[in-house]
Structure 1
């Protein structure tokens, strides 16, 4: 991608950002500095310059003494005006991460614990049932009655949103117990990433309302696919977006203080309790729901076993080490038993020195531990 395309895209995004009322997306939110970059170049503050070596992915990062949002630009992201609208909304997501961090956000998911989330048929069945409830809510989002309807229609939307949240609360109470609290890290993803997704969605709705409505079905599709793959981080992006929207439609007065230790879901629970009746409903799963969940788990276990076998064939030589993980790409990491598979980058601390492992790597963890590395695997001669 040449300089002219990079600069032209930056200008188009700037034009769209100028149209947005960012403070209406979240109280106090304003545009932070941001950079678009390619493999070799970046456009920052309207100026073209070489890309810093440490820029990686799409995120919020420290640069030149301050936090900025960065986005790696690809040609397929800018092939239509609609695509640039979508790209702008995604950059707003990363900008919101800057705002979160600058305002004391601390509810970060412990990703190495999250990828060790228990494979349990009841938990999967409960997640599927929750997806069905969120699917009903997306139908409400598409209808737009909560925005354009009569007063009575808006009131009914609010009551329906509260009802859905109460039913989700019943499911999540059971999930929390069954998982021995492991759900907290998915809830942290919802808080960190899901809220940023929702702010990005609202930005898209301001830029291109028709496109935003189309995206709702995509969010739901992505949520179901993440559930099928037992991808709890991916699931949290989309469940967090929908829960944020549900809470807004239900007119819950959620605490927006980033210094709060409570996750998005815990804040919703708190408000549901404040609005009245708490439910003691016992969740009963059907044989059909459990059968479907067992099939999903069997498929995922086979997939993981195949991935592990493939990596063990590529990297057959074991090298025992004493190290700990100190950095990673959470989107490209999976755990199979005591083995950790990285397909992007991983940072380990060995004898006080940090080493970056780029590309595909297979490592073995201390049994039951999420941080301590006991072996690296290398390719054969």
Structure 2
């Protein structure tokens, strides 16, 4: 792991951070596995602070962390810029960023046919604006999103906040990759475009927002549309900062059979997953315990149940408790845990 750490450090240390985002600087980073943590020259036993790939508070500093056991990356250039992504989250937190998405609200996202049909049309318009930029193409994208927001305000709010936090971090990641390898940058953008165009990526919605946010930033950057702002001082989402005051667009909405099939499959699979899990695992906890943490990329909701693939945390008499294995929890409307199965 030390050899890998040094290879990543060398690449990160060679980047010009001033070209990535105003005020952004390098942060320390740690690699860890199931047993140990490597932080610079320090090696110590892994503890409960090290969960996932993210930014954490470590002593009096923010630290980027990466789990090399669960998320190995073979290409050192790609790995280095993924560390940059997590460093940017450290920068966002240090800067007092306030535009974080409500992940519990995201679990309630309405996967309705009309919502996703218009969302898919938006994504296609965004791709068209990148491939052959014209102001009217971007205006049409803004107009369609404004239309969707009239009916699905909380869903669009969730998306735009993910675009602001994760999309911006993804954009910075791509800009770092462009410094390390322009060819790999072009390949990465092509892959992002491919992901944006896939109907299958509309569910769950969170991940595609990383890509739409990053691509919208690239479009603005390449076409002279101002978007730089001081993180921590701005309350508007990135979308709100660049969207023009255009009227909500009209659309002749024809239901998409592929989208309707995707929605049904998603709900059916989630129902079966939770039903089968509860049937095969005992109830370990009953009561009322405030939910404190989960992995939004690996958590699904069906009715009053959540399936958490990796971990969940909750408060018990003021103490933070972790369940670091697949589990199902029954929750109330305020996301208090009423029962836990694992």
> What is the CA distance between 1:377 and its match in structure 2?
3.1
Matched residues, number: 341
Q: Does 1:267 align with 2:241?
A: yes
- Of residues 116, 119, 124, the one that matches 1:127 is 119
Q: Distance in 2 between matches of 1:55 and 1:363?
A: 23
Q: How far apart, in 2, do the equivalents of 1:344 and 1:88 lie?
A: 24
Counterpart secondary structure, 1:181: helix
Q: Superposed, which structure 2 residues align to 1:96-135 within 5 Å? A: 96-135=88-127
Task: Tell me the residue number matched to 2:157.
Answer: 184
Q: Find the aligned partners of 2:286 and 2:187 in 1 and give their Cα distance.
A: 50
Q: Normalising to structure 2: TM-score of the pair?
A: 0.91
1:59 corresponds to which of 54, 62, 85: 54
Change in CA separation of 1:336 and 1:323 when aligned onto 2, cut-off 3 Å = same
Residue 343 of structure 1 pairs with residue 297 of structure 2: no
Measured in 2, the distance between the counterparts of 1:43 and 1:220 equals 35
Q: Is the 8 A contact 1:342 1:361 kept in 2?
A: yes
Q: 1:185 to 1:62 in 2, by over 3 A?
A: same
Partner of 2:139 in structure 1? 166
- Residue 76 of structure 1 deviates from its aligned partner by 8.3
Tell me, yes or no, if structure 1 residue 72 matches structure 2 residue 67: yes
Residue in 2 that maps onto 1:151: none
1:196 and 2:169 are equivalent in the alignment: yes
Please, what is the CA RMSD of the aligned residues? 2.3
Report what 1:373 is aligned to. Answer: 337
Quick one: structure 1 residues 132 and 47, their matched pair in 2 at CA, closer, same or farther if it must change by over 3 Å?
same
**CA deviation string 1:289-343 (max 9, x = no partner):** 4333322212222222222222222236485411221111222211011111111
The match for 2:267 is 301
Partner of 1:246: 219
Q: Distance in 1 between matches of 2:340 and 2:330?
A: 6
* Partner SS state of residue 34, structure 2: coil
Counterpart position of 1:144: none
Q: Are 1:324 and 2:298 matched, yes or no?
A: no
For the residue of structure 2 that corresponds to 1:182, the secondary structure is helix
Q: 1:40 to 1:372 in 2, by over 3 A?
A: closer
Larger Rg: 1
Q: Which runs of 5 or more residues in structure 2 are unaligned? A: none
Query: 1:190, 1:241 within 8 Å by CA — same for their partners in 2?
Result: yes
Instruction: Tell me, yes or no, if structure 1 residue 283 matches structure 2 residue 251.
Output: yes
CA distance in 1, matches of 2:70, 2:278: 35
